[in-house]
Amino acid sequence: MKTLATSFESPAPARDGVRTLLRLEALALLLAALALYARIGNDWWLFAKLFLIPDVSFAAYLFGPRIGAIGYNAMHSTTGPIALGAAALALNQPIGLAIALIWLAHVGFDRALGYGLKYPTGFSDTHLGRIGRKQEA
């Protein structure tokens, strides 16, 4: 019987036009987040300081590929920044909205470059295909 932990052992990443479409969507996410950030008029120094913060989640790989994938995916999914942005709008918290837009921009940037959500089989196995030296054809 397959469990959740073993159900991803043979990742089937997006291929062909689907991969290209997903990367274009990610570019659109990046551009939309940048435009909205410019529109709210927040400090670009804050943007520069926080843009790479989600990559701290790489440290989760110190505990193995399964925990690493969970940590990475938690910080590179759109769910967190969308929830933060919605809460910030509901509570009228401009700094929360700014952080959510920076976070969304980071997710869009990474995915546009081809860094997808990770499978627990290893850092190079993503929903957008393998990354690194031995990429899929």
In a domain, 84, yes or no: yes
d(CA 117, CA 111): 8
Assigned domain for 85 exists: yes
Query: Which phi and psi angles does 9 have, rounded to 5°?
Result: -70, -20
> Is the residue at 7 inside a domain?
no
Span 35-91, pLDDT tens digits: 999 999 999 999 999 999 999 999 999 999 999 999 999 999 999 999 999 999 999
Give me the domain span that covers residue 62: 16-129
Q: Per-residue pLDDT averaged across 98-117, rounded?
A: 96
Tokens at 66, concatenated: 């399964």
Q: How far apart are CA 25 and CA 23, in angstroms?
A: 5
Q: Does residue 8 fall inside a structural domain?
A: no
* Any domain includes 115: yes
Q: Is 103 contained in some domain?
A: yes
Are the CB atoms for 40 and 97 separated by under 8 Å? yes
The closest alpha carbon to 105, from 45, 53, 70, belongs to 53
Token pair 């709210």 is found at 40
Number of domains in the chain: 1
Percentage with pLDDT > 70 across the chain: 86
60 vs 77: CA distance, rounded Å: 15
Residue type, 95: I
What pLDDT score does 1 carry? 45
Burial class (CB in 10 A: 0-12, 13-18, 19+), 27: middle
pTM of the prediction? 0.86
Q: Is residue 4, in this structure, part of any structural domain at all?
A: no
DSSP designation for 123: E
